Amino acid sequence: MRQLRIAAVGLAVLIAVFSGCERKVTEEVTKIVAAEDAAEYIGSSACGACHAATYESFQNTGHPYKLNEAEDVQAGDYYPFSDVPDAPSIVSWDDVDKVIGGFWWKARFIRHSGSIVTGAAVQYNLATEGWVGYHDGEDLPYDCGPCHMTAYRDTGNQEGHDSLIGTWAFGGVQCEECHGAGSLHASTPYDVAMKIDRSNEGCGKCHIRGDVNKIPASGSFVKHHEQWNEMFTTKHASIQCVDCHDVHYGLHPDSPDRDMAIKLTCENCHLEKTESFGRTDIEEHLSSPFAPGCIDCHMPKGAKSAVAADTYVGDVTSHLWRINTDVDAEYITDNFANGYLTVEYTCLQCHTTEDKAWAAANADRSHAPNTADTDVCMTCHDGSNNLAQKVIAATRQWEFSLHATGERSDRSRGSCAPCHTNEGFIADLEGEEVAGDVFNAIGCFTCHDPHTNGSFAIRTTDEVELGDGTEFDNGISNLCANCHKSRRDVATYVVAGKEMSNHFGPHHGPHADMVMGTNAYEYDGYTYTNSWHTSGIDDPCLSCHYDEADRYEFGGHSFRMRNEDGDENVEACNITGCHGDEFEIDSLNRVADADFDGDGNIEGVFDEIEGLIDDLQDELIAAGLLEWIAEDGIWEPTDDLVVPNVDSLGAVYNWAFVHEDQSHGIHNTLYAVGLLRSAYNYMTTGDPNGAPARRKPVMLTTH
């Protein structure tokens, strides 16, 4: 009862402090106690005075029960969901001073001298309700304090017992072990915040054994609770333990708050893997009452604290996640785990009548291949013929494309699916509604029909009608224009009295409209012209974005005009009939033909267009037509704003149109310049043909 008495004293002292305290105390404090050295440890019960719900749920975890007073355990009803019925037969409760653990896994016992009880049947395993040996014939001091205590110090001996190594404030991992001494916060909660350590090192200082770069193992299992050793070897080492776990809730199977203990599940991040699992041809994995989930295979019980339930089933969940399906792969070598799971631990825990060879042969069936993924092509097109070589090259180029690396293939609702998913695009071409709820990113078979004999024919080259009725008819580029176009008809979309949203504009990617020089807001009385790209190139998308040079990072099926290092695909520009011969360029940001933004310098086309965009943006901000979206760090049209003046609304539309085109004017330089200059002129003088004093705009009050 000693621990309870100490906590009770602390609680009694705090009753007056918290009387009348009705404020909501946040759990998200990040300030560190300034004078923590002056604070004292007062016990978890004191925390419960304000944080009652958190305190109660934390008591259902294993952390508070790492070291317990024997008299508390003997009294019964001490542990949640667990019970230690007796002391080892070689001693009596009178001989036992403390109990190590006793929650969920096992219990060991400490004599009044501080030494651990060792012998043939001295460790109680809760799963089997049986006794096993522990270091029979050895004399062991209790030196587990760094991970079993609150406020452990490695000097002295607790309660004066030589075999109790170190001293501590409370047994078990209590609130203050992670949050720091609490007396100052408890006495003045408004002025002194508790610390919160969310780092992996905070958890890892105890969920580790030995060198973090190695994973100690014994027999067929990883030892005990080495989650930080395991996690450190994986790709997940960069995320935080608390990203997935809420340590204030327990994972014991009988815990009523078990669902609260996991904040993020695998599906929250690994959407594609979840979807591919849903396409498996192993029917039992989907329909059986015992059908596995992600963690059953990727987080099996590959570690052992007390009892192994079977040859490949321990009692502690693995945090390795990666599965090596090679039949010769070994989980453990020379008493260290190898940083991955093997199929006997992931498959044979359920398929107990099979062997490792069977598991290795069938493991890949668990995740069905993505039928829109380019890897499927390589099953047959493996490099043995000319077409195969082309497919290999296209595959590697595609891997650098935004089609492969973009993050929008999850946009699967009806209006988005036709351009953001493989299935949606194909269904839309056929005039059908997209079916199902499992979709794939844009891949080989989105644009190519795999059923044409040896040609991978383009699915469609039909002309495309743009939002305003303009026909885009430019060969294979028509395929691109199905999606790379505005979703609006400017004549019916930009109207007086319209209420804007943050998404006001042509939608992302009005590339076809820009190339054609149409479907933006054109002011009456202003003359708009087009660049040579509009009429001088028969197949504008492919002529520039696709060329068959021997590289992967830009051109070809990457469709990129530059790579991540800034190297540009000017070879596609410098061909006869375009910028070749005397018109050759060495940069996409070629020198402009005029000082389009009027700053007194003739710069590159990119710079001139960006100058115009910035000038127009400044006027739109000043007029309240754009607002800052802090979450995304960008300016967007002002949400819920009704704009009575159609010409002001048109200025916002043109700003969005050129910005969303993302070519910095290259697609159609003169049209982009006209859209921005006419809008800027109107916003500063009220006349799209006006000539405002540079940098001295005349602000109107009628916007």
DSSP state of 692: P
CA 237 to chain CA centroid, nearest Å: 13
pLDDT for the residue numbered 382: 56
Q: What is the pLDDT of residues 340-397, one digit of tens each?
A: 999 999 999 999 999 999 999 999 899 886 655 556 665 565 555 566 667 777 877 8
Given its phi and psi angles, is residue 81 left (phi above 0), alpha (psi -120 to 50 degrees) or beta? left
For the chain, state the CA radius of gyration: 34
**What SS3 class is residue 679?**
helix
Helix axes 605-622, 669-685, angle to 10 degrees: 30
CA distance 367 to 356: 18
Contact indicator for 600, 614 with CB cutoff of 8 Å: no
**What SS3 class is residue 603?**
coil
Long-range CB contact pairs, 634-642, < 8 A, 24+: 636/502, 636/503, 637/500, 637/501, 637/502, 637/503, 637/504, 637/505, 638/500, 639/500, 639/501, 639/502, 640/499, 640/500, 640/501, 641/499, 641/500, 642/497, 642/498, 642/499, 642/500
Given its phi and psi angles, is residue 582 left (phi above 0), alpha (psi -120 to 50 degrees) or beta? alpha
Question: What residues contact residue 164 under an 8 Å CB cut-off, 6+ apart?
Answer: 110, 114, 141, 142, 145, 157, 158
Of residues 200, 228, 204, the one with CA closest to residue 303? 228
Give all strands (DSSP E) within 214-298, no chain letters. Answer: 217-218, 221-223
CA distance 568 to 539: 20
Sites in the chain below the pLDDT cut of 50: 1-36, 694-703
Handedness of CA 614, 618, 621, 627 (dihedral sign): positive
CA distance 619 to 684: 7
CA distance 179 to 173: 11
Long-range CB contact pairs, 130-133, < 8 A, 24+: 131/88, 131/89
HEC letters along 20-82:
CCCCCCCCCCCCCCCCHHHCCCCCHHHHCCCCHHHHHHHCCCCHHHCEEEHHHHHHCCCCCCC
HEC letters along 128-161:
CCEEEEECCCCCEEECCHHHHEECCEEEEEHHHC
Pairing of strands 217-218, 170-171: unpaired
Cα first-last separation, the chain: 75
Give the number of other Cβ atoms within 10 Å of residue 7's Cβ: 18
DSSP 433-452: ---SS----S-HHHHB-TTS
CA distance 277 to 286: 9
Contact indicator for 400, 551 with CB cutoff of 8 Å: no
β-sheet bridge partners, residue 115: 141
CA distance 698 to 703: 13
Asked whether the whole model's pTM tops 0.75, one would answer no
The helix (H) or strand (E) run that includes residue 358 is helix 356-362
Q: What is the pLDDT of residues 141-185, one digit of tens each?
A: 999 999 999 999 999 999 999 999 999 999 999 999 999 999 999
CA distance 395 to 392: 5
Q: 428 is written with which tokens? A: 């839309």
pLDDT for the residue numbered 561: 86
Pairing of strands 634-637, 336-337: unpaired
Residue with tokens 């921005």: 676
Contact indicator for 345, 332 with CB cutoff of 8 Å: no
